[in-house]
Chains A and B, each alone.
Chain A
Amino acid sequence: MKLRHLESFLSQVDGFEAPKWGLEQYLTPPHLAARVLHCVASYDDLEGCAVADLGCGTGMLLAGAALMDCDEALSVGVDADPDALSTARGNLDKLELNFSLLQADIVVNNGLPFRRVISEGSNFDTVIMNPPFGTKNQGVDMLFVRRALAFAPIVYSLHKTSTRDFLMGCGAAGCGKHVQAEVIANMQFEIPATYSFHKQKSVNIDVDLFRFSRRNSEDMEEAITG
């Protein structure tokens, strides 16, 4: 899949009708989403994989993952906002995608409303997400990572580069020695003026694509469910 083909496909994904600042809703730009997915594919964590997106918004990352041959039928987008999910559903129909959607709040709830899939140990192969940056609610970005690691052994997540030292320093999102964290790419997140308090037309924010991986899924059980 050529980068520009993926990007042009993703430009058809509808964004938030009325973004909510409380949820730090920003549409992942197609340009950025395409690059994130190429990175994930280069680690062989996409094709044929059951993928989850926590805070999926209108479904940009999963739409791209589907086009790059993730296992759509086993893939799920989770979001707390019914309006975003309604747009996501429109995107599914319009682009003939086949992943599932679920409304749940992974911030206040202790993870996802799922039973553990015992024999495999994980509900998903890979989580790919662009969580809230934690600008409004401090620490929410790390909480997303912790929750994600409870349901998948590999997590790809976008974070502000300005928080890199903090994320690495606090032991891979609070999971300590049980999780390996590395920055696999540095990218630009172009945020168009979305909210009324945005003075400039658009700003570019430096973001890191993190790859978190579990070292030992049994040992870390306690660390991630806290």
Chain B
Amino acid sequence: MRLLSHNVLRNTAKGVVDGYPLKIEAAEIDVRDTEPDLTFIRHLLPTISFSGLRSAAEDLGLDAAAFPASYSTTLGEDEAFLRALHKALFDVRVLEGSLVCPESGRRFSIRGGIPDMMLTDEELS
């Protein structure tokens, strides 16, 4: 699971309002450096949830302070920031661990890098 995926995932069980951001409990992480495409990252910027990103960064012991609390149009001009953002969103992968709903405490497992977001019948009705 890339942090880009984590940035959109939420718990959609019945009774849960936001179910976001999911807390990451990582047992195994893999980091692979890839070359950022800055134009592309700039294009992504407005779609990123910065609260979700900071939460993930804190959970994984990354430098959460490198990321602002919210989006602003000037962010696209800061190349060092864009590189840090690329690294967080695309290079860091959680291979094993859990995602925990901040509201209900419900745990979703991550195995082989694949988050299991399946809900039970009780959680749906």
> Would you give the shortest CB distance from A125 to chain B, in whole angstroms?
12
Interface size, B (range): 20 to 34
Q: Does B112 sit within 8 A of A, measured CB to CB?
A: yes
**Could you say which interface size class chain A belongs to?**
20 to 34
Q: Is the CB of B38 closer than 8 A to any CB of chain A?
A: no
Given A76-B5, A100-B2, A114-B10, is A105 in contact with B115 using a C-beta cutoff of 8 Å? no
Partner of B20, one of A74, A103, A115: A115
A82 adjacent to B116 (CB under 8 Å):
yes
| Contact indicator B114/A74 (Cβ below 8 Å) | no
Residues of A within 8 A of B90 (CB): 73
Tell me, rounded to whole Å, the shortest Cβ–Cβ distance linking A153 to chain B. 15
Partner-binding segment picked from B53-61, B62-70, B74-82, B117-125? B117-125
| Beta-carbon contact of B119 and A105 below 8 Å | yes
By a CB distance below 8 angstroms, the chain B residues around A102 are 5, 9, 114-115, 117
Residues of A contacting B119 in the complex (Cβ-Cβ under 8 angstroms): 105, 108-109
Binds B, one of A8-16, A116-124, A202-210: A116-124
Per CB-CB distance, the 5 closest pairs between chain A and chain B, nearest first, are A119-B46, A113-B117, A104-B117, A103-B116, A114-B8
Shortest C-beta distance, B20 to chain A (Å), equals: 6
Complex CA gap A80/B119 in Å reads 10
| A108 and B124 within 8 A (CB) | yes
Does A137 sit at the interface, judged by CB under 8 A?
no
Would you call A85 an interface residue if the criterion is a C-beta within 8 Å of the partner chain's C-beta atoms? yes
In residues 5-61 of chain B, which contact A (Cβ within 8 Å)?
A: 5, 8-12, 20, 46-47, 49, 52
Contact B118–A80 (Cβ < 8 Å): yes
Which residue of B is nearest A120, CB measured? B47
Bound Cα distance A54, B49 (Å): 24
Partner of B49, one of A74, A101, A110, A115: A115
Partner of B115, one of A89, A103, A110, A118: A103
Q: A103 with B118: in contact, given A89-B112, A120-B46 (CB under 8 Å)?
A: yes
**Which A residues contact B (CB, under 8 angstroms)?**
73-74, 76, 80, 82, 85-86, 89, 100-105, 108-111, 113-115, 117-120, 123
Q: How many angstroms between the C-alpha atoms of A56 and B124 in the bound complex?
A: 23
What's the least CB distance linking A90 to chain B, in Å?
Answer: 9
Q: How far is the CA of A111 from the CA of B9 in the complex (A)?
A: 12
The distance in angstroms between the C-alpha atoms of A123 and B44, with both chains bound, is 11
Residues of B within 8 A of A100 (CB): 1-2, 4-5
Q: Taking CB as reference atom, which chain B residue is nearest A111? A: B12
Can you list 24 residue pairs at the A/B interface with Cβ under 8 Å?
A: A76-B5, A80-B118, A82-B114, A82-B116, A86-B112, A100-B2, A101-B114, A102-B5, A102-B117, A103-B115, A103-B117, A104-B117, A105-B119, A109-B12, A109-B119, A109-B124, A110-B12, A113-B10, A113-B11, A114-B8, A114-B10, A115-B9, A119-B46, A119-B47
Decide if B102 is an interface residue (CB 8 Å cutoff).
no
CB < 8 Å neighbour of A114 from B2, B9, B113: B9
Closest to A78 in B: B117
Shortest distance from the beta carbon of A145 to any chain B beta carbon, whole Å? 19
Q: Of B8, B114, B116, which contacts A117 at CB under 8 A? A: B8
CA distance A109 to B46 in the complex (A): 27
CA distance A101 to B115 in the complex (A): 8
